Amino acid sequence: MKNLYIPIIAFIGMSYTISAQQFALASKRYTSEIDSESKIFFKKISSTLPGENEPAAKKSKNEIKGDKFYFIYSYNEAIEAYSSEDQLTTDGQRKLAISYYKMHKDTSSETAYLKLFTMKDGNNSEDYFNYSMVLKSVKKYEEAGKWMDKFVEQTPQDLRAIDYKANKASLPLLLENNAKYKINNLNINSDAQDFGTSYYKNKIVFASSRTTKSMPKTSYRNGKPYLNIYVADVDGDQLKDPENFNKSFNGNMNEGPASFNKEGTFMAYSKNNYTLTKKELIVNIEIYFSTYDKEKDKWSEPESFVLNNKDYSVGQPSLSEDGKTMYFTCNKPGGFGGADLYKVTRDDAGTWGNSTNLGNTINTEGNEVFPFYQEEKGILFFASNGHFGLGGLDIFSSTIKGSVFGKATNLGAPLNSSSDDFSILMDSSLTKGYFSSNRVGGSSDDDIYSVKFILNKKINGHAKDKNEKYLASTFITLLNDKDYVIDTVTTKSDGAFSFNVESDKDFKLTGEKEKYDDGSNAFSTYGSELIVKSDVTLLLTPKKEEIVQAKKEDIVPVKKEKTVAEKIKVNEDLGKIVGFKPIYFDFHEYKIRASAETELNKIVNVLNEYPSMSLQLNAHTDCRSSNAYNQRLSNRRAKSSADYLKSRIKNPERIHAKGYGETKLINACSCDMVDAGNCTEEDHQANRRTEFIIIKK
């Protein structure tokens, strides 16, 4: 299914606009259609349609014929016409390559693109991006990366390019089928399109082009019957007994997918706009609402969404449990490009407000589609071909942080594949759900799959040096909070590693590599992220012969904080004497901050000036989380502070460290207190500290 989101081409009188770039960016599935009553009008004016970038005079009759079919999304017929011509123009060759891709003829598309790149002006950046997508569809990932590098070189500020650069090293981890998900093709699937599930009470609703009619109306785009909304019973891991959800909703073109509030009394669904005139050739998708009347036992007449517009598509709604918030897909002007995801809310009177674009952590110049917001965990699931993935549409997740969504995370194989994977639906515990895919091995076209999460979380990371260079052959160890070894792995050339881990736990990673100092990092799986990222940094240990005596003139004097021996007293806070602050830590972290190193270096100077001085390091946490967890966290903070000092002073046995958890707060921000909710982040920050007490002068 390469035709989800077709761009708008609206005819008003005899004027028209066509964009090859839009065609190239056109994503998958069905959202626009050719109005069957407009076909006669199309035939009347189609002879006037020139090539997009070249005048019709340069094109052969076969190519012009191919352009006509391409224009109305009839890609098979376009391929036949273009293939009848020995020499196409650059524009025609590009459209032939795209047409092959739309019809899943990926090998032929690959060949067509290679020919395009030999032609004059056959090498724009969008061609590089599209060709890389073709290569991914046939699992030529290394070659696809080379063409994406060309795309990045020409368009470095493109969000797709930025995302590719940031995530391309994670490809081996995304491809690794580590049994994190158990997927199952459902018996309910037919040889038609079946996709786009949603919860409806204790049932599942989905969109399908299946039909019992002997002579159904068919889409001019793909020759298949139009979509309708179906409902099925849940039977364990399967769905059964599908039937038409409401025949009164069925029109002459596409209806579905749909979404419902938790009670199943309010629904939003996609459908084609039937109100255009015959001269407005392209029929876009709109959202409609219906409310269930319990007394009449029927659904109300569908009501049009206020943001519907004949000039662009608005579809794929996803309603919140109370039905007052809706996420949807739209390709209206003013977005980031292609199809973007938006959010809109309605008031108690039922009036929808202004829509909000979800921003560039979610949206790209590609297509972001099929949103689903899991309210209990605060996670947005969606499909995208703009973020870095395995091919076609991939499924991503993003956790809400305050009022904005965080970085999009690719959920990897086997949930994602080199084909289109989209429209995921998850239960409240994030343990099972459904998604759609046109991957190899299905019944036909789009199929519905069930999915179970076997383990709750996954840790992805890289071994690297201080210059962010990835390190191969690094031995990575995963330990629990009691320092018991859980698993180990040796990194390959890309420095990547991955482990399956439990939720709501603390873990530690260590890295070992010859000629490098050992590295370590701590992380936790608290929170709602399904995939946690944590790297291990190792420092290069110089060889003895590389250590040379510095010349006197090269030595830069270090300014020391002067202390007065007679002022130092046992059991005093060293900071009060020397004039520095306690060091502070980030929430749930025990890693030494860069800013804390300045204060610690002052202590190093004092300890080296007074070689008999001993210190007690007292580490603390704020009140958030359990007492047991905070005690363990403060122990780690004490140890990391002590380790820093011990590695830089003589007689390191002078350093003693102890964690106090949340028992010694310096303000009223105890979580046991009624007014603790009034504490700011700055108040909590004051408690996340290590203090330094002199125990020997």
Give residue 567's pLDDT band: very low, low, confident or very high (50, 70, 90). low
Residues 153 and 206 in one domain: no
Residues 282 and 409 in one domain: yes
Residues 493 and 536 in one domain: yes
Mean pLDDT throughout 374-403?
Answer: 91
Determine, yes or no, domain membership for 15: no
pLDDT at 27 (0 to 100): 38
Share of the chain above pLDDT 70, in %: 81
Residues 65 and 93 in one domain: yes
Determine, yes or no, domain membership for 9: no
Residues 133 and 207 in one domain: no
Residues 411 and 350 in one domain: yes
pLDDT at 40 (0 to 100): 41
Q: Scanning the structure block, which residue is given the tokens 């046995």? A: 653
Residues 165 and 258 in one domain: no
Low-confidence winner among 20-24, 113-117, 300-304 (lowest mean pLDDT): 20-24
Structural domains in the chain (count): 4
Is the separation of the CB atoms in 34 and 398 below 8 Å?
Answer: no
Question: At which of 144, 170, 196 does a domain end?
Answer: 170
Question: At which of 145, 170, 195 does a domain end?
Answer: 170
306: CATH? 2.120.10.30
Cβ count within 10 A of residue 542 = 10
pLDDT at 277 (0 to 100): 54
Residues 106 and 188 in one domain: no
pLDDT at 135 (0 to 100): 96
Would you say the C-alpha torsion 638, 643, 649, 655 has a positive or negative sign? positive
Q: Name, in order, each residue with C-beta under 8 angstroms of 199's C-beta and a sequence gap of 6 or more.
A: 205, 260, 425
Give residue 14's pLDDT band: very low, low, confident or very high (50, 70, 90). very low
Low-confidence winner among 206-220, 230-244, 265-279, 566-580 (lowest mean pLDDT): 566-580
Per-residue buried b or exposed e for 584-596, using 16+ beta carbons within 10 Å of the residue's own CB: bbeebbbebeeeb
Low-confidence winner among 14-23, 82-91, 339-348, 371-380 (lowest mean pLDDT): 14-23
The tokens for 473 are: 């052959």
- pLDDT of residue 397 exceeding 60, the answer is yes
- pLDDT of residue 437 exceeding 90, the answer is yes
* pLDDT tens digits, one per residue of 290-335: 999 999 999 999 999 999 998 899 999 999 999 999 999 999 999 9
Mean pLDDT throughout 30-41?
Answer: 46
655: CATH? 3.30.1330.60
Residues 195 and 267 in one domain: yes
Q: Which residues pair with 136 in a beta bridge?
A: none
Would you say the C-alpha torsion 610, 613, 617, 618 has a positive or negative sign? negative
Is the separation of the CB atoms in 39 and 263 below 8 Å?
Answer: no
165: CATH? 1.25.40.10
Q: Name, in order, each residue with C-beta under 8 angstroms of 378's C-beta and a sequence gap of 6 or more.
A: 399, 400, 528
Share of the chain above pLDDT 90, in %: 45
Determine, yes or no, domain membership for 11: no
Low-confidence winner among 230-244, 423-437, 459-473, 675-689 (lowest mean pLDDT): 675-689
Residues 247 and 321 in one domain: yes
pLDDT at 451 (0 to 100): 94
Domain that holds residue 276: 181-454
Determine, yes or no, domain membership for 6: no
- pLDDT of residue 358 exceeding 90, the answer is yes
* pLDDT tens digits, one per residue of 137-168: 999 999 999 999 999 999 999 999 999 999 99
Residue of 60 and 23 predicted with greater confidence = 60
pLDDT at 527 (0 to 100): 72
The candidate with the shortest Cα–Cα distance to 112, out of 152, 83, 84, is: 83
Determine, yes or no, domain membership for 556: no
Q: What is this structure's pTM? A: 0.66
On the 0-12 / 13-18 / 19+ scale of CB atoms within 10 A, 169 is middle
505: CATH? 2.60.40.1120
Determine, yes or no, domain membership for 446: yes
pLDDT at 22 (0 to 100): 30
Residues 426 and 352 in one domain: yes
- pLDDT of residue 554 exceeding 50, the answer is no
Give residue 216's pLDDT band: very low, low, confident or very high (50, 70, 90). low
* pLDDT tens digits, one per residue of 580-632: 678 999 888 888 888 888 888 888 888 888 888 888 899 999 888 778 878 88
CA 164/CA 387 separation, integer angstroms: 7
Determine, yes or no, domain membership for 599: yes
Provide the mean pLDDT of the chain: 82
Residues 341 and 223 in one domain: yes
Question: At which of 435, 454, 473 does a domain end?
Answer: 454
Q: Name, in order, each residue with C-beta under 8 angstroms of 205's C-beta and a sequence gap of 6 or more.
A: 197, 198, 199, 229, 230, 231, 232, 245, 257, 258, 260
Determine, yes or no, domain membership for 14: no
Q: How far is CA 131 from CA 163, 196, 370, in A?
A: 17, 27, 24
CA 203/CA 526 separation, integer angstroms: 32
pLDDT at 456 (0 to 100): 63
